């Protein structure tokens, strides 16, 4: 696995190192030893899956409020998505900055989303499948989000938005509000 730091504080992209021969391909998707300096003692407690049927659909931008924050390791296993993270840790040097990365079954990249980041993605293909490895159990009372089109963030989605859930549309613009996320 090749780990590359991203411009946002504590975030990283992890490239697989596939082995190919006449039989096909083999790649390691997760190795606690190789990811030890990213995981820093955290353990994966859930592996979640989503399939998004239509290109242009956005899921996000989601996060868990303290003390239920989670690190996510996100990988697209079928098709492609444009995955976006936003640093919402008020004391971070990259506060309110965002980064987008294309994750696909073909490029085999995995995105490390640290605690204190909002996360979402846009499906670029039909039936895009995503795996999320998380370090905290989901708590519905701690669920929160910011709008995918928040003018304060000005996220540049690569294709026209075709679908987004009613819940994700209900999130209010940040407009300087405190998201209660500490480093």
Any catalytic annotation for residue 62? Answer: yes
Euclidean distance between CA atoms 139 and 122, whole angstroms: 24
Cα pseudo-dihedral 94, 99, 105, 106, rounded to 10: -110
- CA 118, 124, 129, 133 torsion-angle sign: negative
Any catalytic annotation for residue 138? Answer: no
Beta-bridge partner residues of 47: 133
Which one of the listed residues 82, 99, 132, 148 is annotated catalytic? 132
Q: Residue 145 has which token pair?
A: 């989000």
Around Cβ 116, how many Cβ atoms within 10 Å? Answer: 25
Euclidean distance between CA atoms 113 and 29, whole angstroms: 16
Which one of the listed residues 29, 62, 68, 95 is annotated catalytic? 62
> Catalytic site residues?
62, 132
């Amino acid at each position: 696995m090749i780990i590359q730091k991203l411009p946002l504080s504590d975030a990283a992209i992890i490239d697989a190192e596939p082995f190919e021969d006449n039989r096909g391909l083999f790649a390691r998707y997760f190795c606690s030893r190789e990811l030890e300096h990213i995981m820093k003692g955290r353990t994966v407690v859930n592996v979640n899956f989503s399939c998004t049927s239509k290109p242009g659909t956005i899921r996000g931008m989601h996060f868990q409020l303290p003390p239920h924050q989670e690190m996510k390791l996100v990988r697209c296993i079928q098709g492609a998505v444009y995955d976006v993270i936003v640093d919402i840790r008020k004391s971070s040097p990259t506060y309110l900055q965002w980064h987008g990365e294309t994750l696909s079954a073909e490029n085999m990249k995995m995105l490390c989303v640290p605690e204190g980041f909002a996360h979402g993605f846009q499906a670029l293909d039909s039936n895009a499948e995503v795996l999320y490895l998380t370090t905290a159990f989901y708590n519905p009372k701690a669920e929160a989000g910011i709008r995918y089109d928040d003018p304060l963030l000005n996220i540049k989605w690569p294709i026209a938005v075709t679908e987004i859930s009613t819940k994700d549309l209900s999130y209010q613009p940040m407009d300087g509000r405190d998201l209660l996320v500490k480093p």
